[in-house]
A and B are shown apart, each in its own frame.
Chain A
Amino acid sequence: METIIEVKGLTKVFKTRRTELIAVDHISFEIYKGEIFGMIGPNGAGKSTTFAMMTTLVKPTGGSIMVSGLDVEKEDEKIRQKIGVVPQQHSLYPDLTARENLELMGNLYDVPKKLMDERIDYYLKLVNLKTHSDRFTGGFSGGMKQRLSVICAIIHDPEIIFWDEPTTGLDPQTRQAIWKLAMKFNEEGKTLIFTTHYMEEADKLCNRVAIMNAGKLVALDTPENLKKTSNSTSLEEVFIHLTGEEIRD
């Protein structure tokens, strides 16, 4: 299988005057082209920091990340053209309409006007927002915002989609719709990487799952293999087995 993201010895240390926090501690893994890759871990495990480093938002303290053959340290602007990021917060401008939010993103990614208009119409229809395209997003429900947020991230047709907790706080219907959307993008050949706290989601959607704990990568395999290795019936059991029952702050 072709590797699309290669993480080697990745480390992130956050330093303040008095403290030093090792958020990510020498982790290495590969993500293959066209797979759905899940990252799970308790609070403070380092998955969000790893996610932020892979998406070029945070600079690593050590190690390296190659995204689609490009180095995050040196070629971050080129990488950003190839990836789409759906942030955990909906991150939409409330005083712009749905269409204007999409146009803004299209312009920032330099999508040609005609192509951008075609994509906006197509995606708005795909996520059932066509009739709301000229409404300010400030009045949208959580589900509508999440659907719009997703298409804002893919308006430039990225080959890799990073998705931070895609279904947190959504109703079952919207969650189903988001899963279908993820599957559709994956069928189109896009690689999907997402973080989640829902084990069921990781089990159902992901080809492979990385489990992180205290900044380290403690397991990486298919959901089936993870369950088999731990003699567990669910991914949640595997998760608790590997990361412990202690509640994290």
Chain B
Amino acid sequence: MIKEFKQLFRKKVLVVPLFVFPIVMIVFFGYGMGGSVNNVNLLIVNNDMGVSSNALVQELGTFIPKNSDNKMFEITYTKDMSQSEAEDKINSAEYKAVLIIPVDYSDRLAKNEKPEVTLLTDQSDTTSTGIIVETMNKILAKSQPGTILLTVPDLYGSLKYIDFLTPAVIALTVFFGTVMSTGYAVAGEREDGTIVRILMTPVSRGAVIFGKTIHQLILQLARAVILILAAILIFGVTMNGSWLLVALILVIFTFGAVGMGIAISAKSEDMTSFQQISMLFTLPSMFATGVFFPLDSIPDWMRWIAYLIPLTYANDAMRIVMIKGQGINAIAGDLIILLIYSIIIFSVAIRIFRREV
């Protein structure tokens, strides 16, 4: 038993996933699944000139959810905006929600009639949408009990949590699969000496990396197609966007993940070291990037951690395409970040591979 503990604590890389990761996981899931969101970008299109709408707007602006110190909404105001223009703001992810207050809001309240306000939300994030709609209903009921009707149009069809989950799980699966299988290939071939034999042939190191990359691209795209089809057939998951754009996101992302697999494995002396070091990179991606919960539900400092991890951008782009059905312009920012990450990590990987293997 003493020998077992000695061996364990001498492998420091193994201690981190064993003790630190569960704590980090509890913190992230605790906040992420905590049932509240904050700093939601809300656009209020106030077409009403009366005083009643001002009271509602003030109520929204100061609302702080239970168990939170932050305001729920970051509000921007405008007027004279059509619903389709407002939908564009949601599609482009400029705002998480848009509340449209009609021109006759105050008048109807004064006449004891029921005014109808429209709430558009980014329904690709089903969790946040549920919380925003519930909160909005509460605030409206508190403001004018039983008098205001809230309409929430389905922007992307009827969506469930699985629709939110699937695009990110595909990105996560591709990331995990690529890093692990590329790494195993390099670390394994290094351990059994086969890579040395290959490198003693006229084939260049660049060609070896190229071969492994192309293999992973084909394999991961095939996995993604199978996963999406299975999700559609089994759970009726929504696929509103272009398959080609999904492929483009995954190709760029896989490219970087191959680089990460090569870099880690080239630095690892054997398979065990590779497994331990790779966990340091792959596990945080799983629970810190909004695969299972929206980033709006975690505190700012956690969100900044998420922004440092490439999977965050792959998740976002996948959801924009698969759920929102948007085109390349809507994911251009995510793609540029993923491309920069992939180029950097791949270049580093080639350097490490050339030096270490």
Write the residues of chain A forming the contact surface with B, with a CB cutoff of 8 angstroms: 55-57, 77-78, 80-81, 83, 85, 87-94, 105, 108-110, 152-153
Contact indicator B199/A57 (Cβ below 8 Å): yes
Contact indicator A108/B202 (Cβ below 8 Å): yes
B201 within 8 A of A: yes
Contact indicator B194/A57 (Cβ below 8 Å): no
Tell me the chain B residues, 155-213 only, with Cβ under 8 Å from chain A.
192-194, 196-204
- Residues of chain A within 8 A of B202, CB atoms compared: 77-78, 80-81, 108-110
* 13 more CB-based (< 8 A) A-B contacts, given A87-B200, A108-B202, A110-B202: A55-B200, A57-B196, A81-B202, A87-B196, A89-B192, A89-B196, A91-B197, A93-B194, A105-B197, A108-B198, A108-B201, A109-B201, A109-B202
- Residues of chain B within 8 A of A108, CB atoms compared: 198, 201-203
A and B contact pairs by CB, cutoff 8 A, 19 listed:
A57-B196, A77-B202, A80-B200, A80-B202, A83-B200, A85-B200, A87-B193, A90-B193, A91-B192, A91-B196, A91-B197, A92-B194, A94-B192, A105-B197, A108-B198, A108-B201, A109-B201, A152-B197, A153-B197
- Residues of chain A within 8 A of B204, CB atoms compared: 77
B100 nearest CB across to chain A (Å): 61
- Residues of chain B within 8 A of A94, CB atoms compared: 192
- Residues of chain A within 8 A of B193, CB atoms compared: 87-91
Contact indicator B201/A87 (Cβ below 8 Å): no
Of chain A, the residue at the smallest CB distance from B207 is: A108
Name the residue in A80, A109, A153 with the highest tally of chain B Cβ atoms < 10 Å from its Cβ.
A80
Q: Across chains A and B, which 5 residue pairs bring their CB atoms closest together, nearest first?
A: A89-B193, A91-B193, A108-B201, A91-B197, A85-B200
Pick the residue among A88, A92, A93, A105 that contacts B201 (CB under 8 A): A105
A209 nearest CB across to chain B (Å): 24
- Residues of chain A within 8 A of B194, CB atoms compared: 91-93
Pick the residue among A57, A88, A93 that contacts B200 (CB under 8 A): A57
CA distance A89 to B204 in the complex (A): 21
Interface residues of A, dominant DSSP: loop
How many B residues touch the partner, as a band?
A: 10 to 19
Contact indicator B201/A80 (Cβ below 8 Å): yes
Name the residue in B194, B196, B200, B203 with the highest tally of chain A Cβ atoms < 10 Å from its Cβ.
B200
- Residues of chain B within 8 A of A83, CB atoms compared: 200
- Residues of chain A within 8 A of B201, CB atoms compared: 80, 105, 108-109
Of chain B, the residue at the smallest CB distance from A55 is: B200
Contact indicator A85/B192 (Cβ below 8 Å): no
Contact indicator A56/B192 (Cβ below 8 Å): no
CA distance A77 to B200 in the complex (A): 9
- Residues of chain A within 8 A of B197, CB atoms compared: 85, 87, 91, 105, 152-153
CA distance A152 to B193 in the complex (A): 14
Of chain A, the residue at the smallest CB distance from B203 is: A108
CA distance A109 to B193 in the complex (A): 18
A154 nearest CB across to chain B (Å): 12
CA distance A87 to B193 in the complex (A): 8
CA distance A152 to B204 in the complex (A): 18
A72 nearest CB across to chain B (Å): 12
- Residues of chain B within 8 A of A78, CB atoms compared: 202
CA distance A89 to B197 in the complex (A): 10
- Residues of chain A within 8 A of B199, CB atoms compared: 57
CA distance A93 to B197 in the complex (A): 11
A70 nearest CB across to chain B (Å): 12
Of chain B, the residue at the smallest CB distance from A96 is: B194
A111 nearest CB across to chain B (Å): 11
B1 nearest CB across to chain A (Å): 31
Of chain A, the residue at the smallest CB distance from B204 is: A77
A53 nearest CB across to chain B (Å): 12
- Residues of chain B within 8 A of A77, CB atoms compared: 202, 204
CA distance A156 to B271 in the complex (A): 31
CA distance A90 to B203 in the complex (A): 20
Of chain A, the residue at the smallest CB distance from B196 is: A87
CA distance A55 to B201 in the complex (A): 10
CA distance A94 to B193 in the complex (A): 12
Of chain B, the residue at the smallest CB distance from A83 is: B200
- Residues of chain B within 8 A of A110, CB atoms compared: 202
Of chain B, the residue at the smallest CB distance from A85 is: B200
A94 nearest CB across to chain B (Å): 7
CA distance A109 to B196 in the complex (A): 15
Tell me the chain B residues, 52-80 only, with Cβ under 8 Å from chain A.
none
Of chain B, the residue at the smallest CB distance from A152 is: B197
A7 nearest CB across to chain B (Å): 18
- Residues of chain B within 8 A of A87, CB atoms compared: 193, 196-197, 200
CA distance A78 to B204 in the complex (A): 11
CA distance A83 to B200 in the complex (A): 9
Of chain A, the residue at the smallest CB distance from B193 is: A89
CA distance A77 to B201 in the complex (A): 8
Can you list, as one digit per residue, whether each of B109-120 has a CB less than 8 Å from chain A (1) or not (0)?
000000000000
CA distance A105 to B199 in the complex (A): 11
Of chain B, the residue at the smallest CB distance from A77 is: B202
